[in-house]
Chain A
């Protein structure tokens, strides 16, 4: 049983530098919550405040209903996995994992039992006598996780734990940490800048930018219903395409791109919420997988002149320009396309997003 609650948390350095601004969210018991955002967004600082490694400038932090603002890290009953693992080079794997328990004067027999159990879960049994230097990146990562789980803490904190691993290992460790979360039924707060990690691992995602929370929701809701242009562009790979344009009324309501070359019929079927933007600027967002082959001019189809092709094997990324901005479409690999050629494409009208260019907020239906 472990719940974390952040209420109006702020972190300031001096008077002017506000790294985390008025952040509030709850982490439920046994939840896997991911803090994600570009570098410098305050996600690591937030995590470190939860750990007690940074002072909280203002606001309240509760763990299990207890105010812990001024509680030292050791009394918060949390464990943290660091980006560079922070394994002690002069200790063996066993001693690294046992260190915290030793400090708490746990009986030796229990230390050994817990270390062995953790080693078994993580597949480290044969490596217990080795020093960190003699381990691979993935093994070190596992030891760092092992050091956290032997203590059986209320909360696990992960600070970009996979960013030092190569791509293949990262995918493998991603699933391992998810599996661990299920096995241990632990409350986890996980910081990453990688939206794929956020999407695949989190029960819920907190998206941060410049010390502010942009959106908190489940991965799929964040993906399908981003609240603003930033979230829409940040979550998803390749990123969402944005087309600036205007809503105009010429024998029906249309969205027309700024260069006037692309026209999308909005009425009669749908989009009544865009009426307020008639003759005003608006931003259209469409995900690469929501661009399909086919369609005719009458039906808002358009011709794309292909700039670049990126065959991925199972699919192909097709790059073309609209308003002089790069747009990418994610098409089946069998698509007959070549650089310099053209394709007839159409946006999936059911999956369009519209943003107010001033506030960059999504325009709700």
Chain B
């Protein structure tokens, strides 16, 4: 009898333990941290709303958010347009279709560190292939990662290359759910390729577009590996992303309490953005 009472708890315990240790405790602990200062070594010190007041006065954090937005503004549209274009192309009857589908997905499964280091080479000012190509056709060299005005966009292009395969797959799924009769009916009506895309494909895959928008927004906000490896946030903090700044506060400056506060603040911003996107897309859907 007693054993029977415990058995269900035992069976769900792997999930419960995982949830408690890796989700509930960190969230609870970081919430607690937001009201304290702590450098890991010394004991914690209660500061009340001190961390929150500090956030509101931290110019560098807002620069990091601005940098992240700069990244998103390039990354998200580029990602959606390129992914949609590739998916539409890969949905046609072209030669070596399975090969291309696999090839475009490859960067997604390769480690972000590896990709970042590769692109660091491509973007190199003196030795990088990009600049050598540009020099060979008489164009001036570009400081892909060294010019503060350009660096973030360079990272955005790289991140698009890395992630686009995933979104190509999502769009392919969306495209394949469009019944072929819609296109046949449009063929008979005299629609051009572009008209079919504009009037049939786009509206029919609207839910997929929304999903990709949300996923790439959340993914983009968590930009970290690329600037961490390639630029360390420089030059002049121009590629300092919000998550990279939070990381630096925690593990370079050991401001655990402040870092946790920044984390909550940033999570709240992401929530708001996604909420607005959802409202916007749902209204467009009606």
Contact = CB atoms under 8 A, between A and B. Distances in A.
Interface string B159-189: 0000000000000000000010110111111
Nearest to B202: A90
A339 interface: no
Contacts of A73: 184, 187-188
Contact of A86 (B182, B191, B195, B204): B182
A143 B225 CA distance: 54
Given A90-B203, A90-B204, A99-B199, A84 B181 contact: yes
B190 A103 contact: yes
A74 B195 CA distance: 13
Contact of A104 (B185, B186, B190, B200): B190
Contacts of B188: 51-53, 73-74, 78-80, 100
A53 B183 CA distance: 10
Contacts of B200: 88
Contacts of A104: 190
A49 to B, nearest CB: 13
Contacts of B199: 88, 99
B201 to A, nearest CB: 11
Interface string A344-360: 00000000000000000
B190 A82 contact: no
Interface residues of A, number: 22
A340 interface: no
User: B184, B188, B200: which has the most chain A beta carbons within 10 Å?
Assistant: B188
Contacts of A52: 187-188
Contact of A88 (B182, B184, B187, B190): B182
Given A99-B199, A103-B195, A86 B189 contact: no
A311 interface: no
Contacts of A80: 184-185, 188
Interface of B: 179, 181-182, 184-191, 195, 199-200, 203-204, 206
Given A52-B188, A74-B187, A82-B184, 15 more contacts: A51-B184, A52-B187, A53-B184, A53-B187, A73-B184, A74-B190, A80-B188, A82-B185, A86-B185, A99-B186, A100-B189, A100-B190, A103-B186, A103-B190, A147-B185
22 contacts: A52-B187, A52-B188, A53-B184, A53-B188, A72-B187, A73-B187, A73-B188, A74-B187, A74-B190, A74-B191, A80-B184, A80-B188, A82-B181, A82-B184, A82-B185, A86-B182, A86-B185, A88-B203, A89-B204, A99-B199, A103-B195, A151-B189
User: Which 10 A/B pairs are nearest by Cβ-Cβ distance?
Assistant: A74-B190, A100-B189, A86-B181, A90-B203, A86-B185, A73-B187, A73-B188, A82-B181, A53-B184, A103-B190
Interface of A: 51-53, 72-75, 78-80, 82, 84, 86, 88-90, 99-100, 103-104, 147, 151
